[in-house]
Structure 1
Amino acid sequence: MSSPMRTLILGGARSGKSRHAETLVREAARAAGATPVYLATFRPWGDDAEMDDRLRRHRARRGDAWRTVECPVALPEALDAEAGVPVLVDCLTLWLTNLLLDGLDIERQTGRLERALAARTAPVVLVANEVGLGLVPDTPLGRRFRDEAGLLNQRMAAACARVLFIAAGLPLTLKEPGPG
């Protein structure tokens, strides 16, 4: 069975969403005879040993079989540049964080992302955190982030043929393309 052109994978922290996404993109790249591309939205924020360790573990798990493109803000441009090869975007939540911290127009940037996704000729798997299932943040910035993440996830779910929710490493299908 071929992979849909656009897949969104949602889940909580340490749910297994990146690992599942890597498997899907690796399979799509193998079927296409291509090298999988990892579009990394992580931006170092200074001296953060825990985030550095997460980054190291992600890189080690992927190994040398992937080509990595760092795009903490320029995600639509990176998707355009890699339109013909299977890509993994990890993750939309960090991309949103970067947009917020840089004071960029989230609506405009999300529209650009939607257009880049629609123009693709190869599969893409998007990873995002589902942050709206927990406590209400106690700061205005935290509440804005939670709200913007929910809106971004809704728009990406509408733009994708397949949407999965990962919990405890197990995928739950929320949306799947129909036959044909």
Structure 2
Amino acid sequence: MERASHPQGGTVLPQIILVTGGARSGKSRHAEARARGLPGERVYIATARADDDEMRARIARHIADRGDGWTTIEAPVDLVGALDRSDGRGPRLVDCLTLWLSNLMLEGRDWEPEAAALVAALARQKSPVVMVSNEVGMGIVPDNALARAFRDAQGWLNQRVAAIADEVEFVVAGLPMRVKGPSPA
């Protein structure tokens, strides 16, 4: 995979960054900061669906928290298309892989070929991609088959994306921990 050089200093920029953690861990805020630190137009690829008042309020809070300076692309299921169409403009922030996977599964789509297509798309991107994903497998075993299938699929998806990522960070209580990649300068 070809890596972009930073316009100042010639250092190589990370191409694929995965930020994972639990609910309300601070992973989205950290991922936004990582994307802001990369040169170019910032593109926010949103996978959430505003299907109810609570989700609409969450989305509004996310928009307000990240502030101006972002172009938003809504991609609840066509994440690969959104990445390909926005490539070359600057860093993209995908928030989040967990909702994307949930949307696929709720539509009855086979998530595995979709995950393979995502990995292939990430490998061909020219501009950096920062992705947010929940770490869902650290709690109790769910009591129903759908929840267990989702938990397993999310774990496998995270593993596949982490395998090709240049950097992986795990956020706990707002504090990022580097799992993969170079130590920050």
Residue of structure 1 equivalent to 2:57: 53
Residue of structure 1 equivalent to 2:3: none
**1:27-176 aligned within 5 A:** 27-28=37-38, 32=39, 34-45=40-51, 47=52, 49-84=53-88, 85-176=90-181
Q: CA deviation at 1:52?
A: 2.0
Q: For residue 127 of structure 2, give the secondary structure of its aligned residue in structure 1.
A: coil
Q: CA deviation at 1:27?
A: 1.1
One-letter code aligned to 2:170: F
1:125-147 Cα shifts (integer Å, max 9, x gaps):
01000000011111100000000
| 4+ long deviations beyond 3 Å | none
2: distance between equivalents of 1:2 and 1:23? Answer: 18
CA contact (8 A) 2:80 2:121 kept: yes
Task: Using the aligned pairs only, state the percent identity.
Answer: 53
1: distance between equivalents of 2:155 and 2:181? Answer: 20
* Structure 1 residues not aligned, in runs of 5+: none
Give the superposed CA RMSD: 1.3
One-letter code aligned to 2:67: G
Residue of structure 2 equivalent to 1:16: 26
CA contact (8 A) 2:170 2:179 kept: yes
Q: For residue 64 of structure 1, give the secondary structure of its aligned residue in structure 2.
A: coil
One-letter code aligned to 1:6: I
Q: For residue 67 of structure 2, give the secondary structure of its aligned residue in structure 1.
A: helix
Provide the aligned length of Structure 1 versus Structure 2.
172
Q: For residue 68 of structure 2, give the secondary structure of its aligned residue in structure 1.
A: helix
1:60-110 Cα shifts (integer Å, max 9, x gaps):
012221000000000001111111121000000000000000111211101
CA contact (8 A) 1:83 1:119 kept: no
* Structure 2 residues not aligned, in runs of 5+: 1-10
One-letter code aligned to 2:153: E
2: distance between equivalents of 1:16 and 1:177? Answer: 21
1: distance between equivalents of 2:168 and 2:21? Answer: 11
Structure-1-length-normalised TM-score: 0.91
CA contact (8 A) 1:11 1:130 kept: yes
Q: For residue 7 of structure 1, give the secondary structure of its aligned residue in structure 2.
A: strand
2: distance between equivalents of 1:13 and 1:53? Answer: 16
Q: For residue 24 of structure 2, give the secondary structure of its aligned residue in structure 1.
A: coil
2: distance between equivalents of 1:136 and 1:70? Answer: 32
